[in-house]
Structure 1
Amino acid sequence: MKRTSIMTSTLCLVVILSFYFNIGTPNVVSANETLSLHSETAILMDAETGEILFNQKMEQTMYPASITKIVTAIVAIEEGNLADIVTVSSEAVNVTGTRVYLLEDERVPLLKLVQGLLISSGNDAGTAIAEHMSGSEEQFSELMNTFVKEKIGIHQTHFTNPHGLYDENHLTTAYDMAKITQYAMQNEMFREIVGTKEMEWIGEGWETVIYNHNRLLWNYEGATGVKNGFVRKSGYTLVTTAKRDEMELIAVTLNAPSADHAYNDMKALFDYGFDHYHTNVIFSNNVFQSEKGERYVLDEDLYFLSNRNEEISIRVNSLGRLWVRGEGDRIIETVRLKPEESPKETVTMMEDIEEVKEASQSFLDKLLSHFQSILSIFSV
């Protein structure tokens, strides 16, 4: 009996600590099972907090097609010199698929290639970028893989080329693409390019106006980017961001049966997100007073998500931790503040454990009861 009690308490403590410190899998706020999509996998993410508002097989590996170019572009912007002049090779000129009609030995600024890559989905621009930065598509693909693992922290994506043409080992997930996009959209140059609807293109082989292939920039309120794609093996893929008021959302749909299905799925995801959720911010210039009268401040602005029209309460406990709660006393966010006059603070593990107990006692009681019931079944 004593051993059962210890096992139950230990298991519950692990669950509580995992819940409290947000360890492990991505934080899924909701998964509306009534939202019916045509795409095989999908995700809706809040861009600021990274919280997941909708998930449909978001970690299933899929073929990305041209949304691969999101990674090619952010690698070029952050790892390359956009003022470089790139000499186009015959390999780049002869790549299949969509292109900006580069000519062999044409000299093009790297920035212009990135614009042609993202706005007009030029596969030839992707190959030219890869060869300029790494010597070959293969070597640049390794740079892409290292970049997304080390800088973004994703591990279920593997690229074999810079443009997204089909390869059985060229794989990603809806979740990984959302994280990649969340990272890339923090770069102002990337954000500006993917939000460009049209651009004059003057090249040696092509003089025209190129138009962004992402239809939502024209027909969805607040759309800010990003990229669409298609190859036969991947179906129609789409990554889009949209912003209304203070809330920006990222949506990814993979393997839709048609472009119309992909765009309709995207609109359904965004409508769901904007209708049901709201991004809130507590600014760092606020001063908070604890139950004991001590004054505290935030290190930086605190963003958090709530249900739309939900009543929010904010409290600072005696240990200087801020608790944001919604309806039903559910915990939305918690963060340790720093004393107003002292920028440094030593936090002990025991203090955090005490706060876990304070925040989660009723939750703990329910878990204890639940696990004791389960253990009683196995002990019969």
Structure 2
Amino acid sequence: MKKLVAVSTILVIINTLFVSAVFSKTVAPSLPIISSEAAIVMEATTGQVLYEKNARSQMYPASVTKIATAIYAIENGNLTDIVTVSQKARNTEGTRVYLEEGEQVTLEKLLLGLLVNSGNDAGVAIAEHISGSVELFASDLNLYLKDAVGLRNTNFENPHGLFNLQHVTTAEDLAKLTKYAMKNEKFMEIFGTKELPWNGESWDTTLYTHHKLLREKPYDGVTGGKNGFVPESGVTLVTTAERENLNLIVVTLKSSSEAEAYNDTVQLLDFGFDNFETSSIPTNSSFFVGDVEYNTPREIVYTHPAGEQVAIEVKEDGKLRITDQDGTLLSSYQFPVNRNSEKNRSSIQKDSGSFLEQVFSNSLYLSVIVVSVLSLLYYQVRKKQ
């Protein structure tokens, strides 16, 4: 009896260890503690948000506004256009590339001055060339950001980010904007430029990017960035970086100092690269729901905690869902209706119905015959009695 109890105890312990090993969850990574008032980490390929802090709170962006100005001008202007600098552009305050009134510069060169040296005068020259005035440019830009990019919490009053009470955005919107802009090769070429010879009417020099993780304190994998500052916004910073299969966007807003903004950004980049990875479902992968077959028309990518298994399933409505161990939706895809499979299923259902009707009909007919025979036999037996 004692041996039986001992064996039972051992089996219970083994079973407990097995169940714990199978169902234990990956330990969640420790969230970074940052000082910036708002921040977000987004994976650029999938759009998956890996970290956020006050990401939907409206704040003043300062010069990271120029990301919007640049991608709008690239998509709606001609880079070889010759732009004549106005007096208003020449007299713009703040950081400049020292354009002179009447100076003629290509739109592409102005975009380089805008992003590499954060030239406010270049921003005004671009706005006047594209839309005719700063005011009309702001109106056009806001429509573009809403309709083309899908931003909902952004309103820009100028092309450069100098303070205006109504000039606001969010960390989330800036990440979405950067994700959109990153698809443009010309934008990324300029966004990642570290130094640039500049020959102008009043200024011959070499421009160096103001983003320190690109040049002064290089961070492995950084592909581009833009910084900003006005007293009302504090230090603002947008950074893109790529390693292997992970492409990150980090936005920090309202940092009290440059050191704080860069320290937070490095922490957030480390957090993303150390704890997440991007996987994919290949093109033409097949999924079956009953007799219906679905095939992926393209590669479906998703970002998830590194080393963690995910659940992939297709519902009856043809919606593919990818969830993590906690059941959190990581990505989804709606398959178009498979008409052939639907037709086959309807045909099968129809044939099945016809078969059942025939069986039922034949069974009823057979029952009538059986009852008739039994009745006849019963009558014969009674007659003999």
Which of 118, 135, 148 aligns to 1:151? It is 148
Which residue type is aligned with residue 240 of structure 1? Answer: T
Partner Cα distance (1:318, 1:40) in 2? 44
Is 1:92–1:124's contact at 8 Å kept on the other side of the alignment? Answer: yes
Q: What aligned pairs does 1:77-156 form with structure 2 within 5 A after superposition? A: 77-156=74-153
Is 2:293–2:341's contact at 8 Å kept on the other side of the alignment? Answer: no
What is the CA deviation profile of residues 52-109 of structure 1, one whole-angstrom value per residue up to 9, with x for unaligned ones? 1111111111111000100111111011111110000111111111111111111000
Residues 1:49 and 1:289: Cα distance change in structure 2 (over 3 Å): closer
Which of 292, 296, 299 aligns to 1:298? It is 296
Question: Root-mean-square deviation (CA), in Å?
Answer: 2.6
What is the CA deviation profile of residues 334-358 of structure 1, one whole-angstrom value per residue up to 9, with x for unaligned ones? 434469996999xxxxxxxxxxxxx
Aligned with 1:305: secondary structure?
strand
Q: What aligned pairs does 1:180-195 form with structure 2 within 5 A after superposition? A: 180-195=177-192
Name the counterpart of 2:68: 71
Q: How far is the alpha carbon of 1:328 from its aligned partner? A: 6.0
Is 2:234–2:257's contact at 8 Å kept on the other side of the alignment? Answer: yes
Q: Point out 4+ residue stretches in structure 1 off by more than 6 angstroms.
A: 339-345
| Higher alpha-carbon deviation: 251-260 or 297-306 | 297-306
Partner Cα distance (2:327, 2:166) in 1? 47
Q: How far is the alpha carbon of 1:153 from its aligned partner? A: 1.5
Is 1:338–1:344's contact at 8 Å kept on the other side of the alignment? Answer: no
Which of 194, 199, 202 aligns to 1:202? It is 199
Identity %: 47
Name the counterpart of 2:374: none
Name the counterpart of 2:277: 278
Partner Cα distance (1:344, 1:198) in 2? 59
Is 2:48–2:330's contact at 8 Å kept on the other side of the alignment? Answer: no
What is the CA deviation profile of residues 238-290 of structure 1, one whole-angstrom value per residue up to 9, with x for unaligned ones? 01111111111111111111111101111111111111111112231x43252
Partner Cα distance (2:227, 2:70) in 1? 14
Is 1:99–1:124's contact at 8 Å kept on the other side of the alignment? Answer: yes
Which residue type is aligned with residue 290 of structure 1? Answer: F
Q: How far is the alpha carbon of 1:229 from its aligned partner? A: 0.3
Is 1:290–1:318's contact at 8 Å kept on the other side of the alignment? Answer: no
Give the TM-score, by structure 2 length. 0.76
Which residue type is aligned with residue 91 of structure 2? Answer: N
Which residue type is aligned with residue 227 of structure 1? Answer: K
Name the counterpart of 2:25: none
Is 1:299–1:338's contact at 8 Å kept on the other side of the alignment? Answer: no
| Higher alpha-carbon deviation: 68-77 or 200-209 | 200-209
What is the CA deviation profile of residues 316-342 of structure 1, one whole-angstrom value per residue up to 9, with x for unaligned ones? 567765444544666543434469996
Name the counterpart of 1:333: 331
Aligned length: 315
Name the counterpart of 2:214: 217
Residues 1:145 and 1:315: Cα distance change in structure 2 (over 3 Å): closer
Is 2:225–2:240's contact at 8 Å kept on the other side of the alignment? Answer: yes
Is 1:298–1:338's contact at 8 Å kept on the other side of the alignment? Answer: no
Partner Cα distance (2:192, 2:320) in 1? 37
What is the CA deviation profile of residues 197-228 of structure 1, one whole-angstrom value per residue up to 9, with x for unaligned ones? 11111111111111111111131111111210
| Higher alpha-carbon deviation: 162-171 or 304-313 | 304-313
Name the counterpart of 1:244: 243
Partner Cα distance (2:75, 2:331) in 1? 32
Aligned with 2:214: secondary structure?
helix
Which residue type is aligned with residue 209 of structure 1? Answer: T
Partner Cα distance (1:145, 1:164) in 2? 14
Structure of greater Rg = 2
Aligned with 1:217: secondary structure?
coil
Aligned with 2:264: secondary structure?
helix
Q: How far is the alpha carbon of 1:299 from its aligned partner? A: 2.0
Is 1:294–1:339's contact at 8 Å kept on the other side of the alignment? Answer: no
Name the counterpart of 1:26: none
Partner Cα distance (1:60, 1:320) in 2? 36
Partner Cα distance (2:235, 2:329) in 1? 38
Which residue type is aligned with residue 258 of structure 2? Answer: A
Partner Cα distance (1:239, 1:131) in 2? 26
Name the counterpart of 2:309: 311
Aligned with 2:298: secondary structure?
coil
Which residue type is aligned with residue 244 of structure 2? Answer: D
